[in-house]
Structure 1
């Protein structure tokens, strides 16, 4: 149960880290002609998973029978071609990217704090068990 929680935070941190790199790339290319902003999409993939009727099993032991066990990608990078472009063809809005980077940093830091809290609780449980 505890390791499952760490896995969720680990995936969240991976997502926020990847998103930070993509946003940094957008900011770095704000003046590059014909550059199209990119984003990391996670929620759309989750919605697609919820709509699908297939069932995926979770194996806790390598000898368990796998049910539709296909490694699902958690997120992917998409190119925004729908946003209105400037005259030079670039569609990066620096203000928007800075806001997105701030939100992403807050989410990353919150996930780190939650993971640290889990470690503290686990340490406390282990310490109390020794008494």
Structure 2
């Protein structure tokens, strides 16, 4: 039986995604004045589309690809080299990055609260409901 129907695993993956996004945003902010720096972003959609495009129904031969070997992250970090906001070739929009950072912190904190709730429920069950 899977504990909490996989909820804890899903929360763990979401927390890893939020942590990676926080690291990328922080890196972008710290390089806001670096000449020719191009901002990174964490992209879930492109990783999902990439995985969906290569799916096969089943593997019946040892030469078929194993989907789990390459990368287990459900997101990808991509560099946005298509724009330039500053005269020095940099494309970090500090207002956008600060907004994304605040939004991501709220998301991360809500995940942590939900995870704490799951563990509190488990602790209550172990103690017999007290």
Normalising by structure 1, we get a TM-score of: 0.78
Distance in 2, matches of 1:35 and 1:69, equals: 33
Decide which moves more: 85-94 or 68-77: 68-77
Where do 1:1-131 residues align within 5 Å?
A: 1-2=2-3, 4-55=6-57, 68=66, 70-71=68-69, 72-74=71-73, 75-128=75-128
User: How far 1:35 sits from its partner (Å)?
Assistant: 0.5
Question: What is the CA RMSD across the aligned residues, in angstroms?
Answer: 2.4
Normalising by structure 2, we get a TM-score of: 0.78
SS in 1 for 2:41: strand
Distance in 2, matches of 1:94 and 1:20, equals: 14
Runs of 4 or more, structure 1, over 6 Å off, are none
Distance in 2, matches of 1:19 and 1:96, equals: 14
User: How far 1:26 sits from its partner (Å)?
Assistant: 0.6
SS in 2 for 1:40: strand
What are the ranges of 5 or more consecutive residues in structure 2 without an aligned counterpart?
59-64
Distance in 2, matches of 1:96 and 1:13, equals: 22
Decide which moves more: 40-49 or 119-128: 40-49
SS in 2 for 1:128: coil
Distance in 2, matches of 1:103 and 1:43, equals: 18
Distance in 2, matches of 1:11 and 1:68, equals: 21
Note if contact 1:55-1:68 (Cα within 8 Å) is conserved in structure 2: no
User: How far 1:120 sits from its partner (Å)?
Assistant: 1.1
